[in-house]
Structure 1
Amino acid sequence: MLTILGFSMVCSFMYLIMTKRMTALIALILVPILFAFLGGFWSDLGQMMLDGIKNLAPTGVMLTFSILYFGIMIDTGLFDPLVRFILRIVKGDPLKVVMGTTILTLLVSLDGDSSTTYMIAIAAFLPLYQKLGMSVLGLTCVVNIASGIMNISPWGGPTARAAAALQVDAQAIFLPMIPAMGLAIVTLLMTAMLIGLRERSRLGVIDLGDHHHGELALGNGDAEACAAARRPKMFWPNLLLTTGLLVCLVTGLMPLQVLFMVAFGIAVMLNYPRLQEQKERIASHASNVLAVTAVIFAAGIFTGILSGTGMVESMANSLLRVIPESFGPYMALFTAVISVPFTFFMSNDAFYFGILPVVAQTAVNYGFTTLEIARASVVGQPVHLLSPLVPSLYLLVALAKVELGDHQRFALKWACLSSFALLVGGILFGAFPLYRGL
């Protein structure tokens, strides 16, 4: 009963947002409450929702101050030289624009934080896509998938979770997967080429002339307000501050929330010492902050009910019980395949700490090692970052100003292709075997 209820709830949510019958914000709140009532869980419903909100509160805080920090950096013009450099290379060619987007995102994604990646990539490229008249869905697609591939790094979330759940070394999971990641990156670059060729066929190569100077504006101010907010003399201090922040993020010196709060405070005082200027800069980014954090806390209700009612556990156990005995020698392949839908329909925590240990224990009986199963379990990450349960996804669509359902419909097939490349690469390069007999 719980399994049927859980899958029905997730499918109903996906249907409502993809058909635009509800916004993600409203659906995240009302749909799980309705299904909780249908399942008879009204007595503890409030506590479940509160627990879910508490779990996502740190993410909400981190996204709030990270948006504000990078918004301030964009206002000051920190990324303008990068955009001007990109403009000189791409010269109004949609193919080069999409390829450049992909390459830059892959490099930025090395820090393992999707939120930071999205803010930098969208801030750098969105004005260019809009100027050329290109589809912004192509931008969000390649950025989302690139982040999913690079998220397999040892300091990324899924690999760290798999290592903790199976008590193995994260580096031992990651290193044999590097060739598979390379194949997935090649696949993504081919995807970017197809998207770029399609856009070039539709638009042609556009002469930008002198109409675009490579200036970014993440806030809602007009051209004059953006120009007034620029601080070209503060470029090097801002670059040093941002570099220091990224180093601290990678090394884990402090929690992400604290780092972004402190960095934001320093950035505001450094660039806009007057109180009125600070209020104006914060107000200019308020709509972006609200668009993301409101959905994050609404997602807390969804995940709180999904976990509190036991739906996630029941969904996992039900699927594991139907595994045929003949699948035993193919457990690594099975793990890789199920990681795609499982990590889409549930959180990484639920999959890696709830399902993976059970699958790994079963696989050991067929001669597999836990490391092989751990490597297979990260195959679904390009698709996972398209899940409505991933908070950073809402940041991506909010910054790019696209509908969540439109983005998912456009990107899902390409994300599945990248996951398939990871699967094929993992088998071809020996990260995990296709078949293992007793």
Structure 2
Amino acid sequence: MLALIGILTIATLLFCIMSKRLSPIVALITIPILGAVVALYAVPLFDGGQEIVPHYTTIPKMVVAGIAKLAPMAAMFVFAIIFFGVVSDAGMFDPIIAKILKVVGTSPKKIIIGTGVLALIAHLDGNGAVTFLITVPAMLPLYDKLGIDKRILAGITALSAGVNFLPWTGPMIRAAAALDVSTHDLFTPLIPAQICGLAFMVFMGWYWGRKEERRLGLAGATAGAGGDENAVTHFAPKELTEEERKLRRPHLFWPNIILVVLVITGMVATKIPPVVIFMVACCIALTLNYRKPAEQSARINAHAKGALMMASILFAAGVFTGIMGESGMLKAMAVSAGHFVPDALSSHIPFIVSLIAMPLSLVFDPDSYYFGIMPVVANIGGFPPIEVAQASLLGQMTTGFPVSPLTPATFLLCSLCGVDLADHQRFSIPVLWLASIVMAIGAVVTGVFPL
């Protein structure tokens, strides 16, 4: 009975989120609470007829327990958004963009690979929309000038952002929150697999560039459209607004770069809690770039909306995970599901998940999958639950998010590139799925989970 109530709770949650009957925050809070009420008050009546009436504080205690587990992750995400927002406002990306535009010249191969590198750097903050807003406007004029297929612009940007999942990105935080594990334990073993994904991105950039050179009839890597090499070799970055110019701190480029490198190194190579790293780094970035308290407050306010939205979803997810775990529904569902999985197959589930994780992005939004589907699969047994989370991160809303109709960033990317959604999906989905499979093979080879 408890397993059935858990299944109905998750099914209702998925239906309400995916059909947009309720917002994720409302669904993650109200539906588990209703499920807990039914489980705590109805199950005893059917199991032996014992009328055991729980204390009225039972469900609130479950809620608080779940929120308490997620509080450090929510705090980390808030300060990570502010930190990367501040260094971006200060102009840390400007010289990088200018350098990339200068290096790529008029070679399609260099332009496409350079687009991937720029998207890789821009995705450091883990925000897909910001990545697209930085990358596409900077590179689109080059594609237009040379006549390079703009589906490639969308594809290489999507591929670069998709394989660049980091400890502070949404899927990583959701996976860690759902299973109550640290992002460090999730991410560190996946670094070799991610390197495989990045290498695949560079290969695809070279492959697409070579095809475009042949299609456009360019004799060499430096041949320009219509023979005018200088027309795009020195193409300038987009013009800044007056407000953006006031925020720029070009003389602090290297201090900001060093700070970002130290933050990433601290996240990967140390056991310092990520929330502490980002809190300290955020304070340093604010003080370094904007000395006046009013300026610091303005920068925090500028990025507060995105930080608050993600923190709210994580706290709402704490309600869901707390109730599902503390009530025993998750365990009951896993035990029931385990009866239907042959023993010989159970150890292969993480690898199977890694192969289908990317297309699952087209069906499940990140909240539905990581808080609804993944915990059940992870607790079936026969393997460490963390392996399913790591397998999921190789595709579900990582390589999958830039083509999923469930994410607004997909429509933003198509709009910026001037590409139809259907054309973008037909062109990019096979490549993004292949990238996920390449990373899955890398994960198997490096022992993250067995074949």
After TM superposition, the score normalised by the length of structure 1 is 0.64
Q: How many residues align?
A: 380
The reply to whether residue 273 of structure 1 matches residue 291 of structure 2 is yes
8 A Cα contact 2:186 2:389, kept in partner? no
Code of the aligned partner of 1:63: F
**After the TM superposition, which residues 303-318 of structure 1 pair with which residues of structure 2 at under 5 Å, given as runs?**
303-318=321-336
Asked if residue 118 in structure 1 is aligned to residue 126 in structure 2, the reply is yes
Choose which of 393, 400, 408 in structure 2 pairs with 1:381: 393
Give me the whole-angstrom Cα distance separating, in 1, the residues matched to 2:79 and 2:37. Answer: 36
Quote how far apart the aligned CAs of 1:266 are.
Answer: 1.9
Q: In the TM superposition, what is the alpha-carbon distance from 1:84 to its structure 2 partner?
A: 2.5
Structure 1 432/257 Cα, relative in aligned 2: closer, same or farther at 3 Å? closer
Match of 2:22 in 1: 22
- Note closer, same or farther for the CA distance 1:414–1:48 as it changes in structure 2 (3 Å cut): farther
**Amino acid paired to 1:59:** M
Query: 2:136 corresponds to which letter in structure 1?
Result: Y
Q: Is residue 79–residue 124 contact of structure 1 (8 Å, CA) maintained in 2? A: no
CA contact (8 A) 1:375 1:431 kept: yes
Matched, 1:359 2:377: no
Give the corresponding residue for 1:142: 159
Q: Which of the numbers 338, 346, 352 marks the counterpart of 1:337?
A: 352
TM-superposed CA distance for 1:187, in Å, is 6.3
Corresponding residue of 2:221: none
For the 8 Å contact 1:313–1:354, the answer to whether it is kept is no
Q: Once structures 1 and 2 are overlaid, which stretch shifts more, 312-321 or 15-24?
A: 15-24
Letter matched to residue 382 of structure 2: V
**Is 1:70 matched with 2:84?**
yes
CA distance in 2, matches of 1:257, 1:376: 24
The question of 1:80 aligning with 2:87 is answered no
Separation in structure 2 between the aligned mates of residue 170 and residue 17 of structure 1, nearest angstrom: 26
Percent identity over paired residues? 28
Q: Secondary structure at the match of 2:77?
A: helix
Identify which range, 283-292 or 182-191, moves more after superposition: 182-191
How far residue 339 of structure 1 moved from its aligned partner, in angstroms, is: 6.4
The C-alpha deviation readout for 1:219-266, integer Å capped at 9, x for no partner, is: xxxx32222111112222222222233332233263221221122222
Check 1:181–1:265 CA distance in 2 against 1; reply closer, same or farther (3 A cut): closer
Q: 1:76 to 1:377 in 2, by over 3 A?
A: closer
Which residue is equivalent to 2:320? 302
SS at match of 2:272: coil
- Whether the 8 Å CA contact 1:336–1:378 is kept in 2: the answer is no
Alignment of structure 1 residues 211-230 onto 2, 5 Å? 213-214=237-238, 223-230=241-248
Give the Cα–Cα distance (whole angstroms) in 2 for the partners of residues 269 and 335 of structure 1: 44
1:290 paired to 2:294: no
Q: CA distance change for structure 1 residues 33 and 423 in 2, over 3 Å: closer, same or farther?
A: same
Residue 39 of structure 2 corresponds to 39
- Residues 260 and 351 from structure 1, CA distance in 2 versus in 1: closer, same or farther, beyond 3 angstroms? same
Counterpart secondary structure, 2:66: helix
What is the TM-score when the length of structure 2 is the normalising length?
0.62
Q: Unaligned regions of 5+ residues in structure 2, if any? A: 42-53, 142-149, 211-224, 226-230, 361-365, 400-406, 414-420
1:195 and 1:2 map into 2 onto residues whose CA distance is 53
**1:259 paired to 2:277:** yes
Please tell me whether the aligned partners of residues 164 and 194 of structure 2 are also in contact (alpha carbons under 8 angstroms): no
Q: Which residue in 1 is equivalent to 2:264?
A: 246
Larger Cα-atom Rg: 2
| 2:26 partner amino acid | I
**Contact 2:36/2:59 (CA < 8 Å) preserved in 1?**
yes
For the Cα contact (< 8 Å) 2:6–2:330, is it kept in 1? yes
Contact 1:98 1:195 in 2 (8 A): yes
Q: Tell me: CA distance 1:260–1:182, structure 2 relative to 1, closer, same or farther (3 Å).
A: closer
1:200 alignment partner in structure 2? none
C-alpha distance in structure 2 between counterparts of 1:101 and 1:127, whole Å: 11
Which of 274, 298, 319 is the aligned partner of 2:337? 319
Q: 1:213 to 1:117 in 2, by over 3 A?
A: same
Secondary structure of the structure 2 residue equivalent to 1:383:
coil
What SS does structure 2 have at the residue aligned with 1:45? helix
Q: 3-state DSSP class of the match of 1:22?
A: coil
Inter-partner Cα distance in structure 1 for 2:115 and 2:329: 39
What are the Cα deviations for residues 113-159 of structure 1, in whole angstroms up to 9, with x where unaligned? xx95515x7645423336759899968853564145x88xxxx9999
Aligned to 1:13: 13
Cα distance change on mapping 1:82 and 1:23 into 2, 3 Å: farther
Deviation at 1:3, TM superposition (A): 2.8
Over 3 Å counting, the alpha-carbon distance change for 1:86 and 1:12 in structure 2 is farther
Unmatched runs of 5 consecutive residues or more in structure 1: 110-114, 198-205, 217-222, 361-369, 388-395
Counterparts in 2 of 1:55 and 1:187: CA distance versus 1, 3 Å? same
Counterpart Cα distance in 1 of 2:395 and 2:388: 14
User: Structure 1: which amino acid aligns with 2:352?
Assistant: V
Instruction: Show CA shifts across 1:318-356 (max 9, x none).
Output: 22222236xx2x5543442256789985569x9699748
- Paired position in structure 1 for 2:219: none
The alpha-carbon deviation at position 289 of structure 1 amounts to 1.7
Question: 2:7 and 2:105 mapped to 1: Cα distance?
Answer: 47
